[in-house]
């Protein structure tokens, strides 16, 4: 009797395992890669970071297997996810999970698995993650335009997820440049990463105004979605990380004066974008505090506090390298402390949910903002 009753429970859990679960992998991997970029050296830190990266690798393998079973045994639900405008943007998380684990292999994972295997793993995951990310960056906006057709009041930062994935490739790819033969191969990869940077940046600049306009005209997001405001930090921090990586790899790869141009870009782009990222961090944190006071409880959207903040850590570290300013060292450490606290909180609640059986659960219907609520917001109600 116990065995028979357990099977439907496991089957139900697997049925509701969506692509948003890859955020656990992203958030775990970035703790390792961001820690490797810290300007301080603490005894035992590298070992701890390698252990966290190994955990992200295990989570990635487990989720890839579980999602494969999901598509095999619950293909109807998997297809429904593709047709659900609230779920399909999370397919960008698959790309970023692959890229985050691959980048971590080369930065800290090599301490445990060796430099050669780490390079191979990074190269494989970079190619797979980039291909998936490009497919998501095209397919998801296409589905939204021709099939989903969401209204302006439905805009959320989740829409940015498939557009940010190529930016992660742009930030990870330059670390593979020195491992290619000199000449055309290195230059091709570096400029391809630069093209991915432009692709993601311009697409984000098109989408972000829709999200901000929805907040200003429609009022705060529903409580469960409030943590997704932190997702806006992703393209900001990751693009700053990317331009820093371009500058690190450009010498001897692209001819002068373009190699020096990448160095200028790292500072002239990174400094103002980081300033805006800090502004948005305060803006998003204020919304989260408000939501907590109104009863916001844990959900998987809390993983939004991890990976985007981690990209700001690596972005601040890049600015520290290229400006030499101690203030960016302090910012890197401060942001990393927040990242670790956010990751520990999200991981603890997720583990509890898995043990109790509350996760993964069937998603609640996506909350929407009624038109009359928008009118009340404009008149000052609900403050």
**Ranges of each domain in the chain:** 16-361
pLDDT digits (tens, 9 = 90+) for 110-141: 999 999 999 999 999 999 999 999 999 999 99
Q: Classify burial at 345, counting beta carbons within 10 Å of its beta carbon; exposed 0-12, middle 13-18, buried 19 or more.
A: middle
Angle between helices 184-218 and 115-143 in degrees, nearest 10: 40
Report the pLDDT value the prediction gives residue 152, as an integer from 0 to 100: 86
Report the pLDDT value the prediction gives residue 83, as an integer from 0 to 100: 87
Q: Which of 17, 34, 9 is nearest to 309 (CA)?
A: 34
16-361 topology per CATH? Glycosyltransferase (1.50.10)
The whole-number mean pLDDT for each consecutive block of 10 residues of the chain, a chain of 383 residues, reads 42 81 98 96 94 98 95 90 91 97 96 96 98 97 90 92 97 98 97 98 96 94 97 98 98 93 97 98 98 96 98 98 97 98 97 89 50 40 41
What distance in Å separates the CA atoms of residue 237 and residue 164, rounded to the nearest whole number?
Answer: 11
Report the pLDDT value the prediction gives residue 15, as an integer from 0 to 100: 84
* Single pTM value for the model: 0.91
SS (H, E, C) the chain: CHHHHHHHHHHHHHHCCCHHHHHHHHHHHHHHHHHHCCCCCCCCHHHHHHHHHHHHHHHHHHHHHHHHHHHHHCHHHHHHHHCCCCCHHHHHHHHHHHHHHHHHHHHHHHHHHCHHHHHHHHHHHHHHHHHHHHHHHHHHHHHHHHHHCCCHHHCCHHHHHHHHHHHHHHHHHHHHHHHCCCCHHHHHHHHHHHHHHHHHHHHHHHHHHHHHHHHHHHCCCCHHHHHHHHHHHHHHHHHHHHHHHHHHHHCCCCCCCHHHHHHHHHHHHHHHHHHHHHHHHHHHHHHHHHHHHCCCCCCHHHHHHCHHHHHHHHHHHHHHHHHCCHHHHHHHHHHHHHHHHHHHHHHHHHHHHHHHCCCCCCCCCCCCCCHHHHHHHHCCCCC
Report the pLDDT value the prediction gives residue 358, as an integer from 0 to 100: 84
């Amino acid at each position: 009797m116990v065995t028979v009753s357990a099977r439907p429970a496991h089957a139900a859990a697997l049925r509701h395992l969506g692509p948003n679960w890859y955020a656990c992998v992203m958030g775990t991997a970035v703790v390792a890669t961001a820690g490797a970029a810290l300007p301080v050296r603490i005894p035992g830190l590298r070992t701890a970071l390698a252990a966290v990266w190994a955990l992200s690798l295990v989570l990635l393998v487990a989720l890839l297997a579980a999602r494969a079973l999901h598509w095999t045994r619950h293909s109807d639900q998997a297809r429904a996810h593709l047709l659900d405008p609230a779920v399909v943007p999370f397919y960008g998380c698959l790309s970023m999970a692959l890229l985050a684990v691959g980048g971590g292999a080369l930065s800290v994972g090599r301490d445990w698995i060796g430099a050669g295997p780490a390079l191979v793993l990074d190269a494989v995951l970079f190619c797979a993650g980039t291909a998936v990310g490009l497919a998501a960056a095209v397919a998801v906006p296409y589905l939204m335009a021709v099939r989903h057709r969401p209204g302006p009041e439905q805009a959320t930062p989740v829409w940015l997820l498939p557009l940010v994935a190529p930016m992660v490739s742009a930030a990870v790819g330059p670390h593979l440049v020195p491992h290619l033969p000199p000449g055309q191969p290195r230059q091709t990869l570096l400029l391809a990463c630069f093209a991915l940077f432009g692709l993601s940046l311009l697409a984000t600049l098109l989408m972000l105004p829709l999200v901000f306009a929805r907040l200003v005209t429609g009022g705060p997001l529903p409580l469960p979605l409030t943590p997704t405001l932190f997702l806006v930090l992703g393209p900001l921090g990751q693009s700053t990380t990317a331009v820093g990586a371009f500058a690190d790899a450009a010498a001897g790869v692209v001819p002068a004066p373009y190699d020096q141009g990448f160095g200028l870009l790292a500072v002239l782009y990174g400094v103002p974008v980081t300033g805006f990222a800090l502004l948005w961090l305060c803006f998003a944190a204020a919304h989260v505090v408000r939501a907590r006071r109104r009863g916001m409880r844990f959900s998987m959207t809390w993983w939004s506090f991890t990976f985007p903040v981690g990209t700001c850590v690596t972005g601040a570290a890049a600015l520290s390298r290229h400006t030499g300013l101690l203030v960016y060292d302090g910012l890197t450490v401060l942001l990393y402390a927040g990242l670790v606290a956010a990751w520990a909180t999200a991981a603890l609640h997720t583990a509890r949910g898995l043990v109790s059986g509350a996760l993964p659960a069937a998603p609640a219907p996506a909350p929407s903002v009624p038109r009359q609520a928008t009118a009340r917001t404009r008149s000052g109600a609900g403050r």
